[in-house]
Amino acid sequence: RVAAYDRYMTFEEIDAHVHETVAANPDVASLLDLGLSYEGRELHGIKLSNGAAGQKSVWFDCAIHAREWIAPPVCLRIIDEVLADPALRDLADWYILPVANPDGYSYAWTDDRFWRKTRRPNEGSSCIGTDPNRNFDFLWDSVGDFCSEVYPGSSAFSEPECGAIGNFVASNADSLVLYVAVHSYGEYILYPFGHTVEPVPNVDDLIAAGTAAADAIEAVAGARYSVENSASGLYFTYGASDDYAYGINAVSYSYTFELTGGGSGGFNPPASLIQIVVDEVWPGVKALVEYTLAN
Ligand code: 0X9
Ligand code: ZN
């Protein structure tokens, strides 16, 4: 059962799709159950595996930022591809979380198309939510006020969505090789860290693997994505998910994909772009996984 790529899917549709996909493919797919969001929505993804013991694993999450609707289709496309190709399941076990911030994603459908944060109220303020990509427990820093779009929360992992991902990543460090957070926008493949431009020890490997992904995208879509250090390519950050996964040594390869923008402000690409984006990004994902598992 293939997802829709000609329109955006609601959280309920995506969640139903996840459950149907697991039910229809019991031999290779199982539910990735990370618990509940603040408002009680399911943090449900999919594990795809050949069932062999001792496999390495790779992680993808999408839409930890509520308004980045172009991201979940990329996660769903990864699921389609890995279901269809046993060789991909022989490479690694795949963990894919299509909507990492379901409360925010749902609010972006019902109330505010450009909502970014979680939906947990902040005590003593009328401004709601925390930037989940500043809430991870690696160099978490209490900067900014409640109303800031990058408010990091009252403490590291104050947000259940972030704690759930962080806990999974930390407790699967033995098998995990690659962590990818899928965001929009800007057409970047970003590698750690966000708090310093100082090169990390395996920066050459990070750049080589990221470049393999960018080259695979270029082969189908032309030169588009640039491979950059988060801090120098974008801006300085603390407490981001990719830096957490890398910083606690859960993975040796960690990235943020910033997909294509388009439409108002870049966060609202027309639905006609979905198919194009998933078609061009998948070869990059495949190349990245092949590279990181071989090195
Ligand atoms: O600022 C972010 O969280 C990401 N950009 S977005 O426009 N999607 O909000 C970039 C995060 C990159 N990773 C790190 N800075 N560690
Ligand atoms: Zn984002």
Return the CA Rg of the chain.
17
The per-residue pLDDT for 274 is 96
Tokens of 253: 């390869």
Residue 144 token pair:
């900014």
Kindly provide the ipTM of the predicted complex, given to two decimals: 0.99
**Cα of 291 to ligand 2 centre, how many Å?**
25
Annotated catalytic residue 39: no
228 lines ligand 1 (CB under 6 A): no
Instruction: Supply the pLDDT for residue 88.
Output: 98
Q: Which pLDDT score is estimated for 188?
A: 97
CA distance 156 to 146: 15
For 133-225, list the strands marked E by DSSP: 176-184, 188-191
pLDDT at 133: 98
Q: Is 183 in the pocket of ligand 1 (CB under 6 A)?
A: yes
Q: Is the CB–ligand 1 distance for residue 65 below 6 Å?
A: yes
- Let me know if 131 is exposed, middle or buried by CB neighbors in 10 A (0-12, 13-18, 19+): buried
| pLDDT value of residue 233 | 87
CB atoms under 10 Å from CB of 229, counted, come to 20
Q: Judge whether 293 and 185 are in contact, CB under 8 Å.
A: no
pTM of the model: 0.98
Task: Report the C-alpha gap between 210 and 201 in whole angstroms.
Answer: 15
pLDDT at residue 263, as a whole number? 65
- Ligand nearest 139 Cα, by number? 1
pLDDT at 248: 98
Q: Which ligand is nearest to the CA of 100?
A: 2
CA atoms of 194 and 8, how far apart (whole Å): 30
> Mean pLDDT per 10-residue run, the chain (295 residues)?
88 97 98 98 98 97 98 98 98 98 98 98 96 98 92 98 98 98 97 97 98 98 95 94 98 98 82 96 98 95
Distance 134 CA to ligand 1 centre (A): 9
Predicted pLDDT of residue 264:
65
198 CA to centre of ligand 2 in angstroms: 23
Residues measured by CB to lie within 5 Å of ligand 2, the ion:
65, 183
Q: Which is the catalytic residue, given 159, 228, 258, 280? A: 258
